[in-house]
């Protein structure tokens, strides 16, 4: 089969600084790619200084400041990686508009033919004035004369020396921290042994081979990445560990989140309240909400989180995983199996629709996260695959049409509470799927994913991470 899913589990689950995979991690990765491209250049010694200009379009322009896009870009140009950068240092970048940062530029060809010494490092002076938030949406922007930019989250980098343009790149941040570069064809991964493009095809593979869902995902991952089963399990354990750490850090932290809204963190208070609740159900819900909000507040604070499938929705899966680890006492094996099922849901949603709020609204972020968490819970608790599909479908079905309207362009309102609600929906979807007869389920997961895509395409652009509609404009007191 052509056009099958070749996404790796660790493309979906990756660590990076909050608050947004498409507006923070993606742009940082684009800046790192530009840095690599720059390093391949030959430079004439004209004596004129070098300059880098970055232009942001569409959603990146409209909500980039609140999402820390400018800081992430500078971090990437400085060579900082999403998985290892110091999040506190990152959050302090470009706080002073006039501060000059020095970006190293060291072209290989600068040395003379017989010179053995490495070229002296040249630095490019960079300030906040070199990042331009363009006041036009990508869709309206005539680029290269006539063409329109294909994605809302578009960014361009230009390196020049005097009047001479030395290098220009156009990148698209397509959600979940994934980046595409204009004119560059992504290196295709090998076709996996169990090739599928949607849930229907995955179901047929399971029937035909007699393998379990986790076996299929695992064997594909081994073939796609060349990793051993042991390495994949270690990677999954690290990801689960990072998710739980984000919950625990959030539960220990008080105070106001960064930005002009002045939003107070609530997870720790919620957790404390849960200890005093007399009724078991209230306590259970308060804890689940607290876990999801704790990770989501850490994301809003620009701390390290795990994309699942995005940073904006980075509280849903950790909330459910923390619950299952601490209340249901799941084994390590069950947690790993659940993660593999959740990855399958994310692969299919990304392949056939989108996981970008700028493309399809929040249904593609918290909606898909909730669907992944429902699949995780059902599979980890040893539910059959049909029930896993049903749980994933139910969770997404009830979040169809959900818009993305972050107040002030900050990933705080409605995002943080929405993560908590997404986690609760996931558990509810598991309960509903458990009670249903899988053979009589009327809507398939493929159908709900297709509907999400159609709904996203019909959705007015104002509701797709622009902060121009919905709560973003009705909240006058923020």
* Contact set with ligand SF4 (CB under 6 A): 312-313, 357, 362, 365-366, 404, 406, 411, 414-415, 418, 465
For the bound state, the minimum distance from the C-beta of residue 296 to ligand SF4, rounded and expressed in Å, comes to 8
| C-alpha span between 260 and 204 (Å, rounded) | 51
Nearest residue (CB) to ligand SF4, 69 versus 313 = 313
Mapping DSSP to helix (H, G, I), strand (E, B) and coil, where does residue 373 land?
helix
For the bound state, the minimum distance from the C-beta of residue 316 to ligand SF4, rounded and expressed in Å, comes to 10
Nearest residue (CB) to ligand SF4, 367 versus 383 = 367
| C-alpha span between 386 and 400 (Å, rounded) | 21
Nearest residue (CB) to ligand SF4, 30 versus 362 = 362
For the bound state, the minimum distance from the C-beta of residue 239 to ligand SF4, rounded and expressed in Å, comes to 20
Cβ neighbours for 335, distance < 8 A, ≥ 6 positions apart: 236, 240, 321, 324, 325, 380
For the bound state, the minimum distance from the C-beta of residue 461 to ligand SF4, rounded and expressed in Å, comes to 13
In this structure, the strands spanning 131-133 and 50-57 are parallel
For the bound state, the minimum distance from the C-beta of residue 310 to ligand SF4, rounded and expressed in Å, comes to 7
| C-alpha span between 68 and 26 (Å, rounded) | 12
Nearest residue (CB) to ligand SF4, 85 versus 411 = 411
Q: What angle do CA 412, 321, 239 make, to 5 degrees?
A: 85
For the bound state, the minimum distance from the C-beta of residue 387 to ligand SF4, rounded and expressed in Å, comes to 27
Alpha helix ranges (H) inside 169-277: 199-209, 213-225, 229-251, 267-275
For the bound state, the minimum distance from the C-beta of residue 300 to ligand SF4, rounded and expressed in Å, comes to 9
Nearest residue (CB) to ligand SF4, 390 versus 419 = 419
Respond yes or no on whether the N-terminal peptide bond of residue 309 is cis (omega within 30° of 0): yes
Nearest residue (CB) to ligand SF4, 268 versus 418 = 418
| C-alpha span between 417 and 405 (Å, rounded) | 13
For the bound state, the minimum distance from the C-beta of residue 344 to ligand SF4, rounded and expressed in Å, comes to 22
Six token digits for residue 246: 């984000």
Nearest residue (CB) to ligand SF4, 298 versus 365 = 365
CB 404 within 8 Å of CB 411 = no
Six token digits for residue 393: 């479908």
For the bound state, the minimum distance from the C-beta of residue 307 to ligand SF4, rounded and expressed in Å, comes to 11
For the bound state, the minimum distance from the C-beta of residue 138 to ligand SF4, rounded and expressed in Å, comes to 17
Which residue has 């290098």 as its token pair?
167
Which residue has 């004439």 as its token pair?
44
| C-alpha span between 153 and 118 (Å, rounded) | 38
Nearest residue (CB) to ligand SF4, 159 versus 257 = 257
Nearest residue (CB) to ligand SF4, 62 versus 330 = 62
Cβ neighbours for 340, distance < 8 A, ≥ 6 positions apart: 9, 213, 214, 217, 218, 236, 379
Nearest residue (CB) to ligand SF4, 15 versus 403 = 403
CB 257 within 8 Å of CB 321 = no
Nearest residue (CB) to ligand SF4, 71 versus 336 = 71
Mapping DSSP to helix (H, G, I), strand (E, B) and coil, where does residue 165 land?
strand
Which residue has 């391949």 as its token pair?
40
For the bound state, the minimum distance from the C-beta of residue 473 to ligand SF4, rounded and expressed in Å, comes to 14
For residues 53-87, b (16+ Cβ closer than 10 Å) or e, as one string?
bbbbbbbbbbbbbbbbbbbbbbbbbbebebeebeb
Respond yes or no on whether the N-terminal peptide bond of residue 455 is cis (omega within 30° of 0): no
| C-alpha span between 42 and 358 (Å, rounded) | 37
């Amino acid at each position: 089969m052509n056009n099958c899913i070749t996404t790796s589990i660790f493309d979906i689950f990756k660590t990076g600084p909050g608050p947004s995979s498409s507006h923070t991690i993606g742009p940082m990765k684009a800046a790192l790619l530009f840095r690599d491209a720059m390093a391949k250049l030959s430079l004439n010694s004209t004596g004129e200084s070098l300059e880098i200009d970055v232009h942001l379009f569409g959603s990146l322009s409209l909500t980039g400041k609140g999402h820390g896009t400018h800081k992430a870009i500078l971090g990437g140009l400085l060579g900082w990686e999403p998985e290892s950068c110091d999040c506190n240092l990152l959050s302090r970048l470009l706080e002073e508009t006039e501060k000059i940062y020095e970006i190293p530029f060291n072209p290989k060809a600068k040395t003379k033919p017989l010179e053995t010494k490495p070229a002296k490092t040249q630095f490019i002076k960079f300030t906040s004035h070199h990042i331009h938030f363009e006041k036009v949406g990508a869709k309206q922007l005539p680029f290269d004369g006539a063409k329109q930019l294909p994605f809302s989250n578009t960014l361009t980098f230009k390196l020049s020396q005097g009047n001479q343009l030395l290098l220009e790149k156009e990148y698209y941040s397509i959600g979940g921290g994934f980046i595409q570069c204009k004119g560059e064809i992504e290196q295709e991964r090998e076709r996996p042994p169990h090739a599928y493009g949607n849930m229907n095809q995955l179901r047929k593979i399971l029937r035909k081979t007699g393998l379990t869902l986790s076996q299929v995902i695992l064997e594909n991952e081994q073939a796609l990445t060349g990793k051993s089963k042991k390495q994949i399990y270690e990677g999954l354990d690290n990801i689960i560990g990072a998710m739980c750490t984000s919950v625990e850090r959030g539960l220990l932290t008080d105070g106001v989140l960064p930005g002009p809204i002045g939003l107070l963190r609530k997870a720790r208070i919620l957790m404390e309240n849960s200890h005093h609740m007399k009724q078991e159900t209230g306590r259970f819900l308060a804890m689940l909400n607290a876990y999801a909000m704790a990770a989501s507040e850490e994301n809003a604070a620009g701390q390290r989180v795990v994309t699942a499938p995005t940073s904006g929705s980075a509280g849903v899966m950790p909330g459910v995983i923390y619950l299952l680890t601490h209340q249901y006492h799941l084994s390590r094996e069950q947690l790993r199996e659940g993660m593999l099922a959740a990855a399958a849901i994310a692969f299919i949603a990304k392949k056939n629709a989108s996981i970008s709020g700028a493309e399809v609204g929040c249904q593609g972020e918290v909606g898909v996260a909730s669907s992944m968490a429902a699949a995780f819970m059902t599979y980890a608790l040893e539910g059959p695959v049909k029930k896993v599909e049903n749980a994933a479908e139910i969770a997404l079905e009830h979040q169809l049409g959900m818009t993305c309207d972050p107040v002030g362009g900050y990933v705080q309102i409605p995002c943080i509470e929405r993560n908590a609600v997404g986690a609760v929906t996931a558990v509810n979807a598991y309960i509903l799927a458990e009670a249903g007869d899988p053979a009589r389920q009327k809507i398939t997961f493929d159908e709900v994913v297709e509907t999400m895509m159609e709904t996203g395409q019909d959705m007015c652009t104002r509701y797709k991470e622009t902060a121009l509609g919905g709560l973003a404009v009705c909240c006058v007191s923020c």
